[in-house]
């Protein structure tokens, strides 16, 4: 097998993420496909599946990820979290976001950020969504399916997706999906090694340094009520810490909505 010597590849060792790498002509969802392979018992940790055409792509909280063929680069990776306990599962989300940031910011520039918990934004527009689904049996975290959907080649978005942006819109270039996905596998591999080394504090500090709106007063909504707050921290559990009227508040994912211009 030929390994892809991409942006984040360390040529002194063999890649784990993206070995093997499968290209699917079409599928309902790469996460669904990967989950089926895991459940069949015939998969190795690090296996990756790519498609440029999802008919029923999945986003977080049950949302659909819809696009025309070739517009979205959809990649799913099956990973055994090894010694990482379930109590630290946000760290896997953080390294997936950092790996995607590493690659996307190389092409899109320093206006790239990570929107809590793991979307990739360019300015105030969403470019990448990440969905992690877990296989847990008893107390054992057997597999994590890391799904990454990148707005790659979409030339325009419908009005209801006015806060979306593609890499093509940012750069003016058309991108080859499989090559981009293989580079992303290399970046994931590098970041997973950092996680396996136990560098938890360094991961969280870098994650927070890339965070959308960190230490900037901005508008949010909770239970239909808008308010102004300042994100000051993200805990290792993934809880967002915000200061509102000089009072510290903590929010779990899904409790608040970011109000975008």
Whether 56 and 173 map to the same domain: the answer is yes
pTM: 0.91
Whether 239 and 165 map to the same domain: the answer is no
Whether 29 and 126 map to the same domain: the answer is yes
Whether 184 and 227 map to the same domain: the answer is no
Q: What are the structure tokens assigned to 161, written together?
A: 């997706």
Whether 148 and 234 map to the same domain: the answer is no
Is 113 contained in some domain?
A: yes
Whether 184 and 87 map to the same domain: the answer is yes
Q: What is the CATH number of the domain that holds 223?
A: 2.30.30
What is the percentage of the chain residues whose pLDDT exceeds 70? Answer: 89
Q: How many domains does the chain have?
A: 2
pLDDT tens across 219-261, in order? 999 999 999 999 999 999 999 999 999 999 999 999 999 999 8
pLDDT tens across 48-98, in order? 999 998 887 555 444 555 556 657 899 999 999 877 888 899 999 999 999
Q: Is 191 exposed, middle or buried (0-12, 13-18, 19+ CB in 10 A)?
A: buried
Is 143 contained in some domain?
A: yes
Res. 197 pLDDT band, cuts 50 70 90: very high
Is 10 contained in some domain?
A: no
* Predicted local distance difference test score (pLDDT) of residue 12: 38
CA–CA–CA angle 154, 157, 163 (5° rounding): 110
Residues paired with 49 in a beta bridge: 22, 76
pLDDT tens across 13-60, in order? 445 899 999 999 999 999 999 999 999 998 999 999 999 988 875 554
Whether 152 and 250 map to the same domain: the answer is no
Whether 228 and 136 map to the same domain: the answer is no
Q: What is the CATH number of the domain that holds 113?
A: 3.30.930.10
The overall average pLDDT reported for the chain is: 90
Q: Could you list the residue range(s) of the whole structural domain that residue 234 is in?
A: 217-258
């Amino acid at each position: 097998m030929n390994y892809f010597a991409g942006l984040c590849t360390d040529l002194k060792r063999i890649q784990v993420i993206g070995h093997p790498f499968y290209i699917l002509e079409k599928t309902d969802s790469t996460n669904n496909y990967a989950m089926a392979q895991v459940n069949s018992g015939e998969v190795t940790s690090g296996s990756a599946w790519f498609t440029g055409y999802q008919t029923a792509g999945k986003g977080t909280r049950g949302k659909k990820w819809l696009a025309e063929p070739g517009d979205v680069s959809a990649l799913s990776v099956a990973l055994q979290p090894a010694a990482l306990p379930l109590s630290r599962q946000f760290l896997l989300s953080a390294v997936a976001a950092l790996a995607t940031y590493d690659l996307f910011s190389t092409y899109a520039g320093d206006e790239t950020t990570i929107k809590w918990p793991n979307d990739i934004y360019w300015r105030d527009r969403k470019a990448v969504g990440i969905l992690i689904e877990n296989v847990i049996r008893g107390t054992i975290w057997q597999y994590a399916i890391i799904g990454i959907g990148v707005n790659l080649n979409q030339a325009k978005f419908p009005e209801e997706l006015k806060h979306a942006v593609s890499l093509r819109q940012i750069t003016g270039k058309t991108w080859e999906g499989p090559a981009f996905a293989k580079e992303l596998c290399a970046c994931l591999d590098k970041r997973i090694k950092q996680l396996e080394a136990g560098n938890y504090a360094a991961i969280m500090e870098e994650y927070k340094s890339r965070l959308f709106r960190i230490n900037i007063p901005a508008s949010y909504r909770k239970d239909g009520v808008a308010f102004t707050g300042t994100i000051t921290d993200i805990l290792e559990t993934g809880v967002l810490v915000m200061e509102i009227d000089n009072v510290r508040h903590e929010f779990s994912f899904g409790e608040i909505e970011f109000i975008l211009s």
